[in-house]
Amino acid sequence: MTTSYTDIKRLFEQRKNNPLYNTSYPLSPDDWAKYSTRGALPFDSSKPIALYIHIPFCKQICSFCEYTKMCVPSKELQRNYFNALINDIERFISFYPNVTLYGLDIGGGTPTAVAADIFAGFISWLSEFISDRKVTADFEPSIEGSFDTLVDNYLGKHRSYYIAQAGIKRLSLGVQSTSSDVLNQLHRNAVSPKKMREAIAYWHKKGICKINLDLMYGLPGQTIETIRQDISVIQELNPEQVTVYEFRTNQLKNKYKTDSENCYAQYCELFKGLTQLGYNGEFGRNTFSIDPIDCGLSSYLRHRMFEGWQYKGFGISAQSMSRFGIAYNSGKNQYIGKMIDSAWLIDNNYSYESPTYYQLPREELLSKFIAISGYSGGFSLSAAKELYGSDFISDYQHIIHFLVNENLALIIGDRLQLTKLGFHHYGAIMSLFYTI
C-alpha cells in the first residue's frame, strides 16, 4: 500500500478522470484468480443473512445495461430456471436452517417480465418460504420491475396483486430517463407519465406502499434539460423513493464514452431538483426518500451498503459475500443463453452454485465493501473495522489524512464522507483503499 503523501496524490491525479474507477470491484475478475478455492462459500449462521434472487429475463435488452440478462425465453425454459432457483434456495437453507433473514431482494433483469402463471407460482412459493423463517424487525423484501411489464394489461396487474399478497411492500422500477429521444437510441421504450401515475396509484391501493424509481445520468443524449424534465415527472409521480445511477460502462466493451464533468453536473441537477421537491438525501448519495428516517433502500441493500453484512445470491451470476470471501454463481461475464436448457441443467445438477469461491484476505473484503459504499458517498468506519480489524485506522491513516487534508473527505461521526469536491472524483478516492 502506498503511504507517502506525494505517491497517494499522484495516484489520485492519475485516476481522477478514469471512468473505470467507480462502484465496480474488482476491476478485472483475474485480479482475484489467486484466491479461488474449491467448495461453497461459508457463512456465519449466528449472524443475520440477506437473500438476493436474480431473474435474468427482460422484455427487451437496453443497450446501456450492465447486468446479466437475456430476452424472456419460452415458458418451458422459464420453468427450468425457477426450478433450479428453488432447488438452490432449499439446499442452502438445509445447511443454515435457523438463520435469521434481514432482507430478501428479487432483482434482475426484470422479474416482472416472466410469464404471469410462473411468476405467481414462484411468488407464492416464496411467500411460504418467508413465513417459515425468522426475520429481523426491519426485514423489508423488495422486487424490481419495469413499467412496461406491469402496466397496460390485466396480467400486469395480476403480477402486482401477487407481489402485495406475498407481503412485498417495496417495488423498484426503472425509468432511467423520461426523454423518448434518449431512450429510443438505447433500445428502450418510454412510458408516458400518465400511465406511470395510474400504475403507481393502482399499486398503492393494492398495498405496495413504497415505490422506488430509478433514474440514470450520464447516458448518451442526456442533458441538463432532459434531467430537468425527469425532475418534473418525478414531481408528478411523487414516488416514495428515487435512486439515481451514474452510467457505468466497465462491462460494455468500450461501446460508450462518459464524461465525468457532465456526470457531475447532471448529478448536481438531480440533487438540487430532488431536494427542492422535498426528498431527503445527502450530497453524494444515490438514494433519496420522502421519509427522512428512510434512507431509500431495501433492508438487504441498507445493511449490505452501510454495515457490510453477509448476503447470499441465487440464480445465474448472483454474487454472495461473507467474512470468508465472495462467490459468483455460474454465468458471470458469460453468454447465459445455454444455461436454462434442460441438458445444461441436468449436467449441472439443476444448480447455478459455483463449485469455487474467492477466499479473500481482509484487504480485499475491505476494498469490495468500500467500492459498494461508494453509492452512499462515503463509508462507515466501524463497518470497515469489523471487516478489516481494529487496526484499520492505523493501517490506512495516510490515505485518510490525504483525503481530509485535501478537503476531499470529512470524518463525520462514524463515517468517512466525501465532500462536494471529493464526490466529483469518488471513484478515484475509493480506489485509494483498493489493493491495486
Ligand X SMILES: C[S@@+](CC[C@H](N)C(=O)[O-])C[C@H]1O[C@@H](n2cnc3c(N)ncnc32)[C@H](O)[C@@H]1O
Neighbours of 348 (CB within 10 A): 14
Do residues 103 and 65 make contact, with C-beta atoms less than 8 angstroms apart? no
Cell numbers that stand for 266 in this block: 447532471
Q: Which is nearer to ligand X, 63 or 276 (CB)?
A: 63
Q: Which residue has the cell 448536481?
A: 268
Contacted by 61, from ligand X, ligand SF4, none: CB < 5 to 8 Å by type: ligand SF4
Q: How many CA atoms lie within 13 A of 75 on its CB side?
A: 6
Query: Please, which residue, 103 or 108, has the CB nearer to ligand X?
Result: 108
Shortest spacing between CB 153 and ligand SF4, in angstroms: 17
Part of the chain binding ligand SF4 (CB under 6 A), chosen from 64-72, 117-125, 330-338, 361-369: 64-72
Applying the rule CB under 6 A, the residues between 133 and 152 that interact with ligand SF4 are 146
Residues facing 146 on adjacent strands: 174
110 scored as a contact of ligand SF4 (CB under 6 A): yes
**29-67 burial string, b = 16+ CB within 10 Å, else e?**
eebbeeeeeeeebbbeeeebbbbbbbbbbbeeebebbee
Q: Which residues inside 162-181 make contact with ligand SF4, applying CB under 6 A?
A: 174
Give the whole-angstrom CA distance, residue 95 versus residue 393.
Answer: 36
Residue 126 vs 173, nearer CB to ligand X: 173
Binding site for ligand X (CB under 6 A): 58, 64-67, 107-108, 110, 144, 146, 173-174, 176, 214, 216, 245, 247-248
Contact residue for ligand SF4 among 26, 48, 109, 378 (CB under 6 A): 109
CA atoms within a 13 Å half-sphere pointing along the CA-CB vector of 10: 6
Which CB sits closer to ligand X, 142 or 359?
Answer: 142
Closer of 175 and 263 to ligand SF4 (Cβ): 175
> Nearer Cβ to ligand X, position 48 or 107?
107
Among 40, 62, 77, 130, binds ligand SF4 (CB under 6 A): 62
DSSP 138: T
Q: Check: CB of residue 91 under 8 Å from CB of residue 127.
A: no
Asked if 218 touches ligand SF4 (CB under 6 A), the answer is no
Counting residues that bind ligand SF4 (by CB under 6 A) gives 11
